[in-house]
Chains A and B, each alone.
Chain A
């Protein structure tokens, strides 16, 4: 990463996991003698709506990651499922120095995007 790239894209997970990886990335950068700092990106899956809707999102992840065996269940369990969870996640990633956060929808609907906009664009 420090040798070739402009930064590091974390593979997803709770903010603490991102923070730990980001700190290592910065340390590698400094150790390599590279000026500046690495660009740090994070990512997460989300599904917003009632319980059935959220479960559909999780099912989609389990289907998509079926090749990964038991790992699929872990990814599905990490899917952000409430507006509060999304907001907390975004704030925590911001606090940990994330430059770009990619929020991947798990369900293909405009409604989902509207719910995300509501979750993030609410008052304050």
Chain B
């Protein structure tokens, strides 16, 4: 087989090595634009898990690579004058130049033909090979040549970053967070040999502009950045620039990784944000998978390329999904700057759903014990078993965060577990959960979802076994439907239904009836019904209450510009749209005892174009909190039937995090939190105060 590999980075070289090893009869040429020893980006990082594959694929290069490694196990987080260390993160760094040198020598030794200083300007001269491998990096000419056929997309990430080096070896992987007058500067740093480190510096675009970095040349930008981090570098130590330009990370993905006999490897096909440190590893794993498939399928090139994609695409997509979450975390980090160092570090470690409380406990039990003790101390008022503060030097034993109490007004919930059954909530009362949220309880017959929706008058006296918060509301334009076990938003036959009301005369879905716009008299009636509901629940002995302002119900329909087109004082700006929901909240609060908590279920994103904006939703939270809401169940979607949900892992936690840490109010997260381990993680990281556990 005659193979042309375009690009002499780790992916291309490694693939050439594996193919030549499999069959020395293959004629393999590698073309590289740069000199053999030219490279940019200083060091690369590998996680321990990725090394096994290299060991199996080519033991000889594996040995040489691992001999050159700088290895570390702890990770340091420098934040507000403190350094917090977390152990159990087995990582290795290697100078990129050294990695390439090893791979070049191995390839040459096996008889691969390497050509340097060879700029590829067209694929044409290579297309007569039996296989053309585009290992030509993020800016791949190969991908660009077939962009349409491959379904390629390139999206720049909004923040700015640059690769620098430092002229000394940090002891371990270190995250540095520096607050400056221009905004937050972050550096993700790791040693790659005994004398030098890589420093990836990350700033938001606005910080980058405020600092004037957009107008600086390479030298000025190096001097500026070094000054920012001088204290962390240590006196006299320097940062190094090597074409260290500020760029936006390109997110690259391709629907297909091959076209005919041309196939993509590594960054040419896909990228995952550098903050997960997986680029080189993914590229080399691609090389392994492609070589393996070609060996397995011998002459059947098409089958081999199909199998390569089949094997690699899911793995890469998972990593890209984690990388998106990780990148979003580093972008939104300024909201955590008030956290204590322990919780700040915990939040950083668990930024993607791949690392949970349990997982972190296996990595560094002592760190997690300190987190648990500190969390318990804060939840209980500072005392752990008679010892003030959980001091780092004396880690104590405390229950995991999900089992810490939560104080809301005069109540103390025994734990952070909430259940929100969709049908009968009564069995949940004996579950041990700290809070049971009922399905919608209608404040009036017209406010029911279906004929089976309970009215406030149907509720039994408050059970003694658990804290139950009836979720009172009015279904609005999503009312008069069949019971949800028969499907959702299926209207009742006209004869069995009842007239619907909403903020405006706009149907929830094209197949649903158009509601009437709620008029002034209707508003009065509804405010009265909510107040009466609160009074009655108090008499029944309930000690918590939730007001439903979510998922397209009547009050929520006022809040979203998608469902509220009113031109009176109840429409238009957020101020107008919030007026009626606020009035209802005030009326309920007035009936609800001062010492008891009132929760609000709030849709903070419509997941549809033209919906409520993030800043509006946050402002609504602040206003509702100001009017006496103590706890926010943060929900998304279902403002209109056209909403576009993404039910990824822990999908609801991100919005809970946003509300909690931007508005400083207690929140309840929900959405695919299915294990206690996930619940502990969300709570300990300060992403929510309570979680609705989804028991499936």
Name the residue among A26, A31, A70, A76 with the largest chain B CB count within 10 angstroms: A31
B623 within 8 Å of A by Cβ? no
The reply to whether B484 and A27 contact each other, CB–CB distance below 8 Å, is no
The reply to whether A36 and B694 contact each other, CB–CB distance below 8 Å, is no
The reply to whether A2 and B314 contact each other, CB–CB distance below 8 Å, is no
CA distance A121 to B487 in the complex (A): 38
CA distance A35 to B696 in the complex (A): 10
CA distance A27 to B258 in the complex (A): 34
The reply to whether B487 and A26 contact each other, CB–CB distance below 8 Å, is no
Residues of B within 8 Å of A24, CB to CB, are 647-648
The reply to whether B306 and A74 contact each other, CB–CB distance below 8 Å, is yes
Name the residue among A14, A33, A58 with the largest chain B CB count within 10 angstroms: A33
Residues of B within 8 Å of A28, CB to CB, are 645, 647
Q: How many residues of A contact B (CB 8 A)?
A: 26
In the complex where A27-B672, A32-B484 touch, is A73 in contact with B303 (Cβ < 8 A)?
A: yes
B53 within 8 Å of A by Cβ? no
Residues of A within 8 Å of B490, CB to CB, are 3-4
CA distance A28 to B646 in the complex (A): 9
The reply to whether B645 and A34 contact each other, CB–CB distance below 8 Å, is no
The reply to whether B485 and A36 contact each other, CB–CB distance below 8 Å, is yes
The reply to whether B484 and A35 contact each other, CB–CB distance below 8 Å, is yes
Residues of A within 8 Å of B641, CB to CB, are 3
A17 within 8 Å of B by Cβ? yes
The reply to whether A3 and B694 contact each other, CB–CB distance below 8 Å, is no
Determine how close the nearest CB of chain B comes to the CB of A14; give it in whole angstroms: 7
The reply to whether B485 and A34 contact each other, CB–CB distance below 8 Å, is yes
The reply to whether A33 and B310 contact each other, CB–CB distance below 8 Å, is no
Determine how close the nearest CB of chain A comes to the CB of B599; give it in whole angstroms: 18
CA distance A68 to B258 in the complex (A): 15
Which one, A34, A37, A70, contacts B484 given CB within 8 A?
A34
Which one, B422, B647, B671, contacts A34 given CB within 8 A?
B422
In the complex where A70-B306, A77-B310 touch, is A35 in contact with B647 (Cβ < 8 A)?
A: no
Give 1 or 0 for each of A2-39: 1 = CB within 8 Å of chain B CB: 11100000000010110000011011101111111100
Give 1 or 0 for each of B685-696: 1 = CB within 8 Å of chain A CB: 000000000101
Residues of B within 8 Å of A4, CB to CB, are 487, 490
In the complex where A27-B671, A27-B694 touch, is A77 in contact with B314 (Cβ < 8 A)?
A: no
CA distance A4 to B258 in the complex (A): 38
Give 1 or 0 for each of B474-511: 1 = CB within 8 Å of chain A CB: 00000000001101111000000000000000000000
In the complex where A27-B671, A70-B256 touch, is A77 in contact with B485 (Cβ < 8 A)?
A: no
Determine how close the nearest CB of chain B comes to the CB of A40; give it in whole angstroms: 11
Residues of A within 8 Å of B62, CB to CB, are none
Determine how close the nearest CB of chain B comes to the CB of A35; give it in whole angstroms: 4
The reply to whether B672 and A73 contact each other, CB–CB distance below 8 Å, is no
CA distance A30 to B637 in the complex (A): 13
The reply to whether B306 and A33 contact each other, CB–CB distance below 8 Å, is no
The reply to whether A35 and B485 contact each other, CB–CB distance below 8 Å, is yes
B423 within 8 Å of A by Cβ? yes
Q: How many residues of B contact A (CB 8 A)?
A: 33
CA distance A80 to B246 in the complex (A): 49
B305 within 8 Å of A by Cβ? yes
Residues of B within 8 Å of A73, CB to CB, are 302-303, 305-306
CA distance A124 to B237 in the complex (A): 67
The reply to whether A31 and B645 contact each other, CB–CB distance below 8 Å, is yes
Complex interface residues of chain A between 18 and 71 (CB less than 8 A to chain B): 23-24, 26-28, 30-37, 58, 70
The reply to whether A31 and B671 contact each other, CB–CB distance below 8 Å, is yes
Complex interface residues of chain B between 630 and 645 (CB less than 8 A to chain A): 637-638, 641, 645
Residues of A within 8 Å of B303, CB to CB, are 58, 73, 76-77
B309 within 8 Å of A by Cβ? yes
The reply to whether B306 and A76 contact each other, CB–CB distance below 8 Å, is yes
B651 within 8 Å of A by Cβ? yes
The reply to whether B306 and A77 contact each other, CB–CB distance below 8 Å, is yes
CA distance A2 to B484 in the complex (A): 10
CA distance A76 to B304 in the complex (A): 11
Residues of B within 8 Å of A70, CB to CB, are 256, 258-259, 306
B205 within 8 Å of A by Cβ? no
Give 1 or 0 for each of B280-318: 1 = CB within 8 Å of chain A CB: 000000000000000000000011011101100010000
B43 within 8 Å of A by Cβ? no
Residues of B within 8 Å of A34, CB to CB, are 422, 484-485, 487-488
| 8 tightest Cβ-Cβ pairs between the two chains A and B | A73-B306, A27-B647, A35-B423, A24-B647, A77-B307, A32-B488, A27-B672, A74-B306
Residues of A participating in the B interface, judged by any CB pair closer than 8 Å:
2-4, 14, 16-17, 23-24, 26-28, 30-37, 58, 70, 73-74, 76-78
CB-defined A-B contacts under 8 Å, sample of 19: A3-B488, A3-B490, A3-B641, A4-B487, A16-B314, A24-B648, A27-B671, A28-B645, A33-B551, A34-B484, A35-B485, A37-B696, A58-B303, A70-B256, A70-B306, A73-B302, A73-B305, A73-B306, A77-B310
6 other A-B residue contacts (CB within 8 Å) besides A24-B647, A34-B484, A70-B258: A2-B488, A3-B489, A16-B314, A30-B696, A33-B551, A34-B485
